Structure 1
Amino acid sequence: MTIEQNIKDVIATKLNDGTIEKLVGEQFEKCVNNALDNLFRSYGDITKTIEKQLMSTITPMVEAYDFSEYLVKLDTVLTDVLKNTTQENKALLNNFKKFYTSEAPKQIKTSELFDKWMNYVEENVETDGLEVDYDDEPTYEYVPVTFEVQHDEGRSWSSLESASLIFECEHDEEMNFMVKIKKWKDSSWSKWNIERSSVSDIKSLRNINEFEVFLNLLAQSGTEIVIDVDSDDGEVRPEQKPEATFS
């Protein structure tokens, strides 16, 4: 018997006893599994289709859901925690409470931002070196403050326009702020927005002040900045009162 005949006999035997069908079936099963695996991978066609259907169904539900009741509960919980926390963590929790339970306005004018900053200066400005006014009740003298919008020259080829909101208190440089804003050029729908500040680590909330928390809230919420005034000035009376002196 020749080798060719032997091979034919073996093949015939395997065909007759079902071995070939079994092997083909196993390979076919592997093929189907691989194909399904590819379809359901991150960039597979079926995965994309499922994601599209889920997005179209879930997104409107989430957008329509009223989360305000949970913000109220969060506010209550944080208030209770603040009553019992250590002094070291009060700043962190206070800022967390303001940042995550406050609702940012859809738009704010630069004049309103200036007023907001002056309130911050009033509460926090350094009083060392200030004269005391003894009329009626002793108070510190007024502190002059200024506001200005500086438009950046930028590059002619850039599609973005940028500017800086500058809040200055000559008496106390710790009160000074420079806030970067930007918008798209040549676009009727483009609005000024604060560039996103980096509150990437929640621990940093321990070290930022109330005005910075407010600015971050505006940046994170995409609040529109309306430039109604390019510059302004004013005077702020420090909230802190002079200690009584007796001569």
Structure 2
Amino acid sequence: MLENSIKDVIGKKLEDGTIEKLVAEQLEKGVLNALDSLFRSYGDVTKVIEDKIKSVMVPYLEEYDYSEYIVKLDSVLLDVLKNCALDNKKMLTNSKELMLPEDRKTIKASELFDIWCKYVAKEVDTTDLEIDYDDGPTYEPVTVRLDVDYNNERSWSLFEHANLILECEHDEEMNFAIPISHYKNDKKENQWSISSDQVKDISSLRHINDFRILLMRLDQAGTKLIMDTDSECDDITPEKEPEATYE
């Protein structure tokens, strides 16, 4: 009875094409799986293709003249090593400077201004500066200023805060705003504490300029700033010498 029912179902499925469709689907899957296996990394077809490519490319690559590219690569490697060495040298130099103890107990605002002026003369951007040919040639001077911005403190506050501003009109990269503070009850009325940004990670040392290193050292040593002036102005001639061009 059961066998007859099974025969009837199979017969009907054969007649309506269901069995044929299922067989076709499975055959298609089998073919796809077989092809996938052949084209895998260790498949037979992949190995045949790999052998053919090797037989063509390897002799061509062996005979090719790479001398031109070796020269270019050598130049690139030298530039990379040079730049890396310069960055590391700057980082090591700044690390050494920060580790050296600052023995000055005090520094005058006018002295700090003079040090900064020398920094400006050495590092200021000379782009767009006119050239003076009278004694030179030299670049035209840039105007620099020292000012102190005093905060409006509450009368009951024990501290007075201000910013010592060092400003170069021509090059904003030279500018500094140095936070300073003064304890009102301190008997030495004219002495202020200097605050400076601290190093957050060692890699940042390669990007810190010489003047900021000085400010960090003064801060670490607790060097006091004597406010012998709160306003200065000067014209600084850049150290960089322009190429002379006469018309």
Q: The TM-score by the shorter chain falls in which range?
A: 0.5 to 0.7
Counterparts of 1:183 and 1:202, CA distance in 2? 31
Runs of at least 4 residues off by over 4 Å: none
- Structure 2 residue 108 is matched with structure 1 residue 100: no
**Which residue number in structure 2 is paired with residue 55 of structure 1?**
none
**Which residue number in structure 2 is paired with residue 178 of structure 1?**
177
Q: Is the 1:123–1:240 contact (alpha carbons within 8 Å) kept by the matching residues of 2? A: yes
Unaligned runs of 5+ in 2: 1-83
Map 1:70-85 to 2 at 5 A: none
Counterparts of 2:243 and 2:188, CA distance in 1? 54
Deviations 1:203-233 (A, max 9, x none): 2221110000000000000001000011010
Q: Tell me how far 1:245 sits from its aligned partner.
A: 2.6
Counterparts of 2:211 and 2:151, CA distance in 1? 24
Q: Is the 2:101–2:221 contact (alpha carbons within 8 Å) kept by the matching residues of 1? A: no
Q: Give the secondary structure class of the aligned counterpart of 1:167.
A: strand
Q: Tell me how far 1:246 sits from its aligned partner.
A: 5.5
Give the 3 Å change call, closer, same or farther, for CA 214–179 of structure 1 in structure 2: same
Q: Give the secondary structure class of the aligned counterpart of 2:198.
A: coil
**Which residue number in structure 2 is paired with residue 221 of structure 1?**
221
**Which residue number in structure 2 is paired with residue 133 of structure 1?**
132
CA RMSD of aligned residues (A): 1.7
**Which residue number in structure 2 is paired with residue 145 of structure 1?**
144
Map 1:177-196 to 2 at 5 A: 177-189=176-188, 191-196=191-196
Mean alpha-carbon deviation: is it higher for 231-240 or for 99-108? 99-108
TM-score, structure 2 length as denominator?
Answer: 0.62
Rg comparison, structure with higher value: 2
Q: Is the 1:168–1:175 contact (alpha carbons within 8 Å) kept by the matching residues of 2? A: yes
Q: Is the 2:137–2:241 contact (alpha carbons within 8 Å) kept by the matching residues of 1? A: yes
Give the 3 Å change call, closer, same or farther, for CA 127–103 of structure 1 in structure 2: same
Q: Tell me how far 1:196 sits from its aligned partner.
A: 4.4
Counterparts of 2:154 and 2:195, CA distance in 1? 18
Counterparts of 1:219 and 1:245, CA distance in 2? 46
Mean alpha-carbon deviation: is it higher for 162-171 or for 149-158? 149-158
Counterparts of 2:167 and 2:196, CA distance in 1? 21
Amino acid of the residue matched to residue 219 of structure 1?
D
Q: Give the secondary structure class of the aligned counterpart of 2:160.
A: strand
Q: Give the secondary structure class of the aligned counterpart of 2:152.
A: coil
Counterparts of 1:110 and 1:187, CA distance in 2? 19
Mean alpha-carbon deviation: is it higher for 133-142 or for 190-199? 190-199
Counterparts of 1:246 and 1:128, CA distance in 2? 19
Percent identical pairs in the alignment equals: 47
Give the 3 Å change call, closer, same or farther, for CA 188–91 of structure 1 in structure 2: same
Unaligned runs of 5+ in 1: 1-84
Amino acid of the residue matched to residue 201 of structure 2?
D
Q: Tell me how far 1:193 sits from its aligned partner.
A: 0.9
Give the 3 Å change call, closer, same or farther, for CA 104–122 of structure 1 in structure 2: farther
Counterparts of 1:95 and 1:182, CA distance in 2? 26
Q: Tell me how far 1:94 sits from its aligned partner.
A: 1.4
Q: Is the 1:181–1:192 contact (alpha carbons within 8 Å) kept by the matching residues of 2? A: yes
Aligned residues: 163
Counterparts of 2:167 and 2:161, CA distance in 1? 19
Mean alpha-carbon deviation: is it higher for 124-133 or for 181-190? 181-190
Q: Tell me how far 1:102 sits from its aligned partner.
A: 5.1
Counterparts of 1:101 and 1:149, CA distance in 2? 29
Q: Is the 1:144–1:236 contact (alpha carbons within 8 Å) kept by the matching residues of 2? A: yes
